[in-house]
Amino acid sequence: MDFPTWMAAVQARTEAALERYLPPATAAPARLHAAMRYATLGGGKRVRPLLCHAAGALFDTPPADFDAPACAVELIHAYSLVHDDLPCMDDDVLRRGKPTCHVEYDEATALLVGDALQTLAFQVLAEHGGTAAMIALLAQASGSRGMAGGQAIDLAAVGKTLSVEELEFMHIHKTGALIRAAVLLGAHVGGADDKALIDLGHFAGRVGLLFQVVDDILDAEAPTATLGKTAGKDAAQNKPTYVSLLGLADAKRKAADLRGEAKAALAYFGERALRLQQLTDYIVDRRF
Amino acid sequence: MDFPTWMAAVQARTEAALERYLPPATAAPARLHAAMRYATLGGGKRVRPLLCHAAGALFDTPPADFDAPACAVELIHAYSLVHDDLPCMDDDVLRRGKPTCHVEYDEATALLVGDALQTLAFQVLAEHGGTAAMIALLAQASGSRGMAGGQAIDLAAVGKTLSVEELEFMHIHKTGALIRAAVLLGAHVGGADDKALIDLGHFAGRVGLLFQVVDDILDAEAPTATLGKTAGKDAAQNKPTYVSLLGLADAKRKAADLRGEAKAALAYFGERALRLQQLTDYIVDRRF
């Protein structure tokens, strides 16, 4: 199976699984459930589920076993987007080419949508084979010492001058922690040994930063229509980015370095790491 | 041990456990962690932890085994209060006698505090002996078909005329689901058999409604200083309550009926249900 076919297959099975896990829009409270589905289905590249399945492809485990952890991570990601877009946070009106959840519904509903999507993430994992250790891993990655903490650091950084090290500390929490969880949950389900978990941890750390550097480059370069969200927003809000700190050329060089380091971390797995390697390339090359 | 002594001991051990589980205010991001502690520690009657420990007292299990599930439920409760108080929800400025989290800090921080407290609830349970089944139970009680769903039904009900049945449907979700989870998590940790779980489910259903009826009576009767939150708010916002639908006298009669039904559901346990009986009385008699 070539990479685009594999990727489309994972995206399709992730969409189908999310569709199953989300409550139907007909179930009460119907408006909340419709809004949860609006915020989750039919959009996004599903990078975190792809990473979970790609890590899973290292092992002889059927793809269906990775649907629950992949969706759990994606539900955490979806909740974070809904809350990040709220007026008291980034106050954004466009997401994945559609009005943001609080614009399409209302602010109170969007707050509850984010809350309930987070809960659903843990429910899906707990109800479909997730162990307490896997649930703890997802919680650590999502909470105040992971993604939510990164968001707090981000808030505090608006209008400030950060060093590259401080920017990196923020991103390791804000996006890196959940990307790491996606990879490690796939590895856990596949039955990875300690050596594999350590190497995949290194890989995921590099890929997490890579993802953010590329995001910053896209935000600086791409028109809004291509991006599916408001472009140039970080610069307009005076948020520090890799591009604002390093300049575009050095940000691209940093992306190239991180791609190399990520792939080097996969050496132990040899040929079995094909999907993880291809996905690393996809993350870098998706737009430039 | 008399009931006040037992209650004080459970409240003290819950406070100590929450203190341990919450990240220190010195850990980065310090402002977020300080706000999480502000919103959780040093306040509240800890009714849900009391219910969890009281259910646990049916079994020969040391109290320490119930600290994690009790705190997990309390963390879900604390997150829901922080989010409910936000301007886009109830827009409240006073909670447990202190400024609400978004007043003391800011709206964005309060949003993240609620998000991170929810995550911490699942983390605490997963890291301290909680099984996948227990985590699923807590998630079901907290999510769109439980507490968050009840909140959505509540939002939709503002300014509408509800029947008592519709009001009850809302409360079964909004407060009842989490109270039920508190009782059943205690029972699960204690190793309850199927008969015990069914009876405790009935008990918890009655206590959940009882709790809300009493809350409505307190909101209608008590001055703000005694209540620790803004009194008379439900009536002012034209929210339906048991008092507005039934009148004060019938609401009090309903509380008396529910107390009787709750205690009747404990018959199977005999003397062992002492703490649950005492707690039921406490819930009714705490203020009138």
Q: Nearest Cβ partner of A135 from B122, B149, B153? A: B122
Q: Is B116–A144 a contact, with Cβ atoms under 8 angstroms apart?
A: yes
Q: Is B153–A89 a contact, with Cβ atoms under 8 angstroms apart?
A: no
User: What number of C-beta contacts closer than 8 Å exist between A and B?
Assistant: 146
How close does chain A come to B77, measured CA to CA in Å?
A: 12
pLDDT at B78 over 50: yes
Q: Tell me the residue range of the domain where A27 lies.
A: 3-282
Residues in chain A within 8 Å Cβ distance of B89:
108, 111
Is B287 among the domain residues?
Answer: no
Is B70 among the domain residues?
Answer: yes
Residues in chain B within 8 Å Cβ distance of A82:
none
Is A58 among the domain residues?
Answer: yes
Q: Nearest Cβ partner of A112 from B129, B145, B152? A: B152
Is A54 among the domain residues?
Answer: yes
Pick from B22, B75, B80, B122 the residue to mutate for testing the A interface (most A CBs within 10 Å).
B122
Residues in chain A within 8 Å Cβ distance of B28:
149, 153
Supply A60's token pair.
């002889």
Among the listed residues A90, A218, A244, A262, the one whose alpha carbon sits nearest the alpha carbon of residue A164:
A244
Supply B29's token pair.
């991001």
Q: Is A144–B120 a contact, with Cβ atoms under 8 angstroms apart?
A: yes
Q: Nearest Cβ partner of B118 from A23, A27, A115? A: A115
How close does chain B come to A205, measured CA to CA in Å?
A: 19
Among the listed residues B152, B146, B175, the one whose alpha carbon sits nearest the alpha carbon of residue A32:
B152
What is chain A's length? 288
Q: Is A115–B111 a contact, with Cβ atoms under 8 angstroms apart?
A: no
- pLDDT (tens digit per residue) in A211-263: 999 999 998 887 655 555 665 566 566 678 899 999 999 999 999 999 999 99
Q: Nearest Cβ partner of A111 from B36, B83, B136? A: B83
Query: Which pLDDT does position A94 carry in this prediction?
Result: 95
Q: Nearest Cβ partner of A89 from B28, B108, B145? A: B108
Residues in chain B within 8 Å Cβ distance of A100:
none
pLDDT at B288 over 50: no
Q: Which residue's structure tokens are 């409604």? A: B209
The domain total for chain B is 1
How close does chain A come to B162, measured CA to CA in Å?
A: 15
Residues in chain B within 8 Å Cβ distance of A155:
108-109, 112
Mean pLDDT of A79-94: 96
Query: Which pLDDT does position B50 carry in this prediction?
Result: 98
Query: Which pLDDT does position B231 carry in this prediction?
Result: 57
Distance CA A135, CA B42 (A): 28
pLDDT at A115 over 80: yes
How close does chain B come to A4, measured CA to CA in Å?
A: 34
- pLDDT (tens digit per residue) in A133-180: 999 999 999 999 999 999 999 999 888 888 999 999 999 999 999 999
How many percent of chain B have pLDDT more than 90? Answer: 84
Mean pLDDT of B170-179: 95
Interface pTM, i.e. ipTM:
0.94
Mean pLDDT of A263-280: 97
How close does chain A come to B187, measured CA to CA in Å?
A: 19
Query: Which pLDDT does position A288 carry in this prediction?
Result: 45
Q: Which residue has the higher pLDDT, B52 or B224?
A: B52
Pick from B31, B77, B123 the residue to mutate for testing the A interface (most A CBs within 10 Å).
B123
Is A99 among the domain residues?
Answer: yes
Q: What is the 3-state secondary structure (H, E, C) of chain A?
A: CCHHHHHHHHHHHHHHHHHHHCCCCCCCCHHHHHHHHHHHCCCCCCHHHHHHHHHHCCCCCCHHHHHHHHHHHHHHHHHHHHHHCCCCCCCCCEECCEECHHHHCCHHHHHHHHHHHHHHHHHHHHHCCCCHHHHHHHHHHHCCCCHHHHHHHHHHHCCCCCCHHHHHHHHHHHHHHHHHHHHHHHHHHHCCCHHHHHHHHHHHHHHHHHHHHHHHHHHHHCCHHHHCCCCCHHHHCCCCCHHHHHCHHHHHHHHHHHHHHHHHCCHHHHHHHHHHHHHHHHHHHCCC
Q: At what angle do helices A30-40 and A67-84 cross, to 10 degrees?
A: 100
- pLDDT (tens digit per residue) in B7-47: 999 999 999 999 999 999 999 999 999 999 999 999 889 99
End-to-end, the C-alpha distance of chain B in Å comes to 24
Query: Which pLDDT does position B210 carry in this prediction?
Result: 96
Supply A105's token pair.
């519904």
Is A288 among the domain residues?
Answer: no
Pick from A38, A144, A160, A162 the residue to mutate for testing the B interface (most B CBs within 10 Å).
A144
Q: Is A130–B131 a contact, with Cβ atoms under 8 angstroms apart?
A: no
How close does chain B come to A89, measured CA to CA in Å?
A: 6
How many percent of chain A have pLDDT more than 70? Answer: 94
In the predicted model, what is the mean pLDDT of chain A? 93
Q: Which residue of B has its CA nearest to A36?
A: B144
Give the residues across from A99 on adjacent strands: A94
Whole-structure pTM value: 0.95
Residues in Cβ contact with A70 at an 8 Å cutoff, skipping those fewer than 6 apart? A10, A14, A17, A46, A48, A49, A52, A53, A182, A185, A186
Is B288 among the domain residues?
Answer: no
- pLDDT (tens digit per residue) in B105-155: 999 999 999 999 999 999 999 999 999 999 999 999 999 999 999 999 999
Query: Which pLDDT does position B32 carry in this prediction?
Result: 98
Give the residues across from B95 on adjacent strands: B98
Task: Write the CATH number for B50.
Answer: 1.10.600.10
Query: Which pLDDT does position A226 carry in this prediction?
Result: 58
Is B10 among the domain residues?
Answer: yes
How many percent of chain A have pLDDT more than 90? Answer: 84
Q: Nearest Cβ partner of B126 from A23, A139, A149? A: A139
Mean pLDDT of A18-39: 97
Query: Which pLDDT does position A239 carry in this prediction?
Result: 76
Distance CA A18, CA A48 (A): 13
Distance CA B91, CA B84 (A): 8
How close does chain B come to A49, measured CA to CA in Å?
A: 20
In the predicted model, what is the mean pLDDT of chain B? 93
pLDDT at A280 over 50: yes
